[in-house]
Amino acid sequence: MDLFKSCIKNKIFYNHSEILLPGNSFHLGVDGFWVHHYNKPHATDTEGHNNCPYCLPRVHKKGTAEEYTSWIHVFVPFVMIFPGGLTLPIYLYPLKSEQVNISANTEELKQECELLAAHIVLPKIREQLPRIPITFLGDGLYCNQPFVKLCDYLSLDYAIVQTENSLPTVRRECDQLAKTENHKIYSKQISEQSETKNINSEFQWFNNRYLGSDTYTNILRFKEINCNSNGNSHTYKNEWLISQKINKTTCKQFSERGRLRWHQEDFHNTLKNRGFAAEHDYARANPRIWLNWKLLMVLAFSIFELFSHTQLAIDAKGTRSWKQFAVSLFAELVNVLWSDINDSHSLQKQKIQFRYVFDTS
Ligand SMILES: [Zn+2]
């Protein structure tokens, strides 16, 4: 969080606000991370019982002769997601077994962990960042009236995916409205053509929908048909709850902002597969040390993420992958005395300036 605040103070985001802050807002995503699978307790008391508060038990083959229990650790990262390929984690929340229904199935448990973490952590984030405009990007799990009310209460904007099964009454109302002649003024079609493809987008919106308990929202329906030059077409459909009123000017931007959430998957992939070894636990005997490790991992990720968007890093990397580049930087670092690093020309400067580059394609 301090690193993020120092980026705000140093105007990294505001100096590139046209790319990084669509709608003049920061975008916050959340997605649970399941790490460390154990087939026996990794930390036990004198009687051999699991005494790690973060171990969530999973019972397999329940009721059969082969029934057994395994344990997992779940933490929920809250990540600022920017267009241009930048993601910065600002908060990690680890779940304890006493907080959740451990008898729920895996998918239900995943949802419970994420929803609970959001209800606990979003007020803390708002307290830490009281003045910046934030848009919460959520999947269908957050598509409910209490969560929308929480966002309103915390002055958070939101783009939350509305799934087929959520808010059925609101969905029926929108279906009815869409059939009326008058509703055409709340829709827009855009055709974009290039040499290689043809994209037809359709937007429909329904402002001021009542969710109950004095809560209102706006709904954006989006459909995109993407045809390439070979005649193959791909259709993408989505529907979001949007905190702000939608109109002909803003509908396209809201659909793009809603889709920013996808970038969070890349954050997970990097932590798991691109050198951070997120699934390694490193410290088993002490139930709390793994958390310190995860915090260090996320801090390292954030620093490297910022560095990798500087012209200096892009030029130095050349044709290597970011992982190869980081490995060779590290190899150099361990061979240089700390005193030499400390005395280096660049660290003697009062102020080091980086030129940031963000991909707009
Ligand atoms: Zn544990």
Asked, for residue 269, whether it belongs to a domain, the answer is no
Distance CA 115, CA 106 (A): 14
53 CA to middle of ligand 1, Å?
6
- Could you read off the pLDDT of 266-281 as tens digits, one per residue? 888 888 888 787 777 7
- How far are the Cα atoms of 33, 78, 226 from residue 135, in angstroms, in the given order? 21, 12, 27
Question: 144: closest CA among 212, 205, 95?
Answer: 212
Question: Is residue 266 in some structural domain?
Answer: no
Q: Do 288 and 343 reside in the same domain of the chain?
A: no
Q: Which of 70-74, 133-137, 179-183, 277-281 has the lowest mean pLDDT?
A: 277-281
pLDDT of residue 215: 94
If asked whether residues 85 and 103 sit together in one domain, one would say yes
User: Is there a single domain that holds both residue 116 and residue 79?
Assistant: yes
Please indicate, yes or no, whether residues 114 and 50 belong to a single structural domain of this protein: yes
CA of 267 to the centre of ligand 1 (A): 23
Distance 33 CA to ligand 1 centre (A): 14
C-alpha of residue 324 to centroid of ligand 1, in Å: 32
Q: Is residue 268 part of a domain?
A: no
Q: Does 29 lie in the same domain as 102? A: yes
Calculate mean pLDDT across residues 354-359.
Answer: 79
Q: How far is the CA of 360 from the centre of ligand 1 (A)?
A: 42
pLDDT in tens, 203-215: 999 999 999 989 9
- Given 245, 267, 298, the domain boundary residue is 298
For residue 42, being part of any structural domain is answered with yes
Do 130 and 155 contact (CB within 8 A), yes or no? no
| 85 has a pLDDT exceeding 90 | no
User: Which residues are paired to 226 by β-bridges?
Assistant: 199, 234
Q: 274 C-alpha to center of ligand 1: Å?
A: 24
The CA 78 to ligand 1 mean position distance, Å, reads: 21
Q: Pick from 244, 266, 298: which residue ends a domain?
A: 298
56 C-alpha to center of ligand 1: Å? 7
Label residue 155 left, alpha or beta by phi (over 0 means left) and psi (-120 to 50 means alpha).
left
Whole-number Å distance, alpha carbon 285 to ligand 1 midpoint, is 9
2 CA from centroid of ligand 1 (Å): 27
Beta-bridge mates of residue 73 = 35
Q: Do the domain assignments include residue 84?
A: yes
Domain range for 58 is 1-132+275-298
Give yes or no: residues 358 and 292 share one domain.
no
Task: Give the distance (Å) from ligand 1 centre to CA of residue 41.
Answer: 7
Cβ neighbour number for residue 197 with a 10 Å cutoff: 15
Name the strand (E) or helix (H) holding 293. helix 289-307
Structural domain includes residue 344: yes
Per-residue pLDDT at 229 exceeds 70: yes
If you measure from the C-alpha of residue 128 to the centroid of ligand 1, how many angstroms do you get, rounded to a whole number? 29
Residue 196 lies in a domain: no
- Residue 361 is predicted with a pLDDT of 59
Global pTM reads 0.88
Burial of 67 per CB tally in 10 Å (0-12, 13-18, 19+): exposed
Q: Tell whether 289 and 312 lie within a shared domain.
A: no
In a domain, 259, yes or no: no
Compute, in angstroms, the gap from residue 282 CA to the centroid of ligand 1. Answer: 12
* Ion ligand 1, residue ranges at CB < 5 A: 52, 54-55
Pinpoint the alpha helices (H) of 95-167.
106-128, 145-153
Q: Are residues 286 and 327 in the same domain?
A: no
- The arithmetic mean of pLDDT across residues 196-200, rounded, is 87
Domain boundary among 265, 298, 331: 298
Instruction: With a cut of 90, say whether residue 223 has pLDDT above it.
Output: yes
For 195, the token pair is 């040499």
Distance 54 CA to ligand 1 centre (A): 5
Ligand 1: centre distance to CA 21 (Å) = 38
Ligand 1 midpoint to CA 55 (Å) = 4
* pLDDT for the residue 119: 94
Q: Are residues 359 and 290 in the same domain?
A: no
Question: How many domains would you assign to the chain?
Answer: 2
Query: Ligand 1 centroid vs 318 CA: distance in angstroms?
Result: 41
Residues 117 and 51 in one domain: yes
